[in-house]
């Protein structure tokens, strides 16, 4: 498995687009089912299905609620506007303490589904630039906020599985 070298800059819109549409699918293609995370409990398939779910949420294909207060949502949304990466201990409120049951039949299917979800996400916001959908942690997000979220979130998980290396 060859690492892809990537600069972290959530403020660079062109980089975010390239990362989401090119780097994420490329990195996921190089992931193997038995790749162990460098931190955390997810298996490779759990991580791929988890990312797919967030793309579905961002396009309204899957709807969730946010149980954070409006004040907490505003604070968390401020984080999306920063150039800071997601911390290693960031937890998913939908999974609580347990890893969710795998939904897809096998790892290869999960990889294909993520690549499809990324393409659908990008096309969705080309067709619906003013769309907003609820994130379970951050609340109601618009196009740019979702793009920042996916950049930070995917960067976090691709680092977790050693698929990318950050450069200065």
Q: How far apart are CA 37 and CA 58, in angstroms?
A: 25
47 within domain boundaries: yes
Q: How far apart are CA 4 and CA 26, in angstroms?
A: 9
- Can you give the residue range of the structural domain that contains 112? 4-30+42-83+102-167
| pLDDT single digits (tens) 12-39 | 999 999 999 999 999 999 999 999 999 9
160 within domain boundaries: yes
- Compare 116 and 40 and report the one with higher pLDDT: 116
- Give the list of residues 6+ apart from residue 94 with CB closer than 8 angstroms, or none: 53, 64, 100, 136
94 within domain boundaries: no
State CA 154 to chain mean position distance.
4
Both tokens assigned to 134: 């609820």
| pLDDT single digits (tens) 84-140 | 999 887 766 655 667 888 999 999 999 999 999 999 999 999 999 999 999 999 999
- Beta strand 4-7 with 139-141 is unpaired
3-class secondary-structure state, position 4: strand
Can you give the pTM of this predicted structure? 0.94
């Amino acid at each position: 498995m060859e690492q892809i070298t990537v600069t972290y800059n959530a403020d660079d819109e062109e980089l975010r687009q390239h990362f989401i549409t090119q780097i994420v699918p490329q990195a996921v293609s190089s992931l193997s089912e038995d790749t162990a995370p460098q931190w955390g409990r997810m298996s490779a398939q759990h991580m791929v299905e988890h990312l797919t779910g967030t793309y579905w949420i961002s396009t309204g294909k899957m709807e969730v609620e946010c149980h954070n207060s409006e004040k907490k949502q505003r604070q968390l949304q401020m984080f999306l506007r920063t150039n800071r990466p997601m911390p290693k201990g960031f937890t998913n409120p939908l999974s609580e303490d347990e890893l969710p049951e795998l939904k897809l039949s096998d790892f290869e299917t999960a990889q294909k589904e993520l690549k499809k979800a990324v393409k659908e996400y990008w096309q969705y916001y080309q067709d619906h630039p003013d769309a907003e959908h609820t994130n379970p942690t951050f609340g109601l997000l618009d196009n740019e906020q979702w793009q920042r979220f996916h950049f930070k979130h995917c960067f976090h998980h691709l680092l977790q599985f050693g698929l990318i290396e950050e450069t200065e």
